[in-house]
Amino acid sequence: MSELRLHLGGMEPKPGWTIVNIQPGPGVDIVADITDLSGIPAASAAEVYASHVLEHVHYDRLRDVIGGIWRVLVPGGTLMISVPDLPTLCRLYLDPRLGLHDRFQVMNMMFGGHADAYDIHHVGLEEALLRALLQEAGFRRIRRVDSFGLFNDQSERRFLDQPISLNLRAQRSSA
């Protein structure tokens, strides 16, 4: 049996990747909430990719979600995680050159689009906080990257020529 490559919150099919999403869809392989990954066997995923999903989790569940991701990764497995970078979005919002329309776009990136019950951001994240949560869960070799180059998603988004995402790559420790 080959190891899984999980795309949490994804919709875009890609060969070799299993899409896990809270909502069913044409490309979704597993319908599940990321706050409960118990249906995925422990140490079964070589890679987990989670782009712009962690902010949809209530702050009091962040540790559980990150721990669940650690549990499904094989020792030495890789997590690629992308979230809206709150400091960048705050700077953009406060830019005096922005008009009303642009400010609302930035607010959408900060708080979610509210298109449905799942499109709401419950937490804002920045690098030091996310690193601390990852380290606490047992992730090591955490490094910021400009791009993962895997999917055409929010991790690559730019607004007024500014990347709006915090992209981190981390490895599951063996313990």
| Residue 4 identity | L
Question: Tens of pLDDT along 97-136?
Answer: 999 999 999 999 999 999 999 999 999 999 999 999 999 9
Is it the case that residue 15 has pLDDT exceeding 50? yes
Q: Which of 16, 18, 73, 65 is nearest to 44 (CA)?
A: 73
CATH, residue 39 = 3.40.50.150
Question: Tens of pLDDT along 22-53?
Answer: 999 999 999 999 999 999 999 999 999 999 99
CB proximity list for 60: less than 8 A, separation 6 or greater? none
Number of structural domains the chain divides into: 1
Question: Tens of pLDDT along 56-85?
Answer: 999 999 999 999 999 999 999 999 999 999
Is it the case that residue 138 has pLDDT exceeding 60? yes
Can you tell me whether residue 147 is helix, strand or coil? Answer: coil
* pLDDT at 2 (0 to 100): 59
- Could you tell me the pLDDT band of residue 3, with boundaries at 50, 70 and 90? confident
* pLDDT at 1 (0 to 100): 44
Is it the case that residue 174 has pLDDT exceeding 90? no
CB proximity list for 134: less than 8 A, separation 6 or greater? 66, 79, 81, 142, 168, 170
Task: Give residue 69's domain range.
Answer: 4-172
* pLDDT at 161 (0 to 100): 93
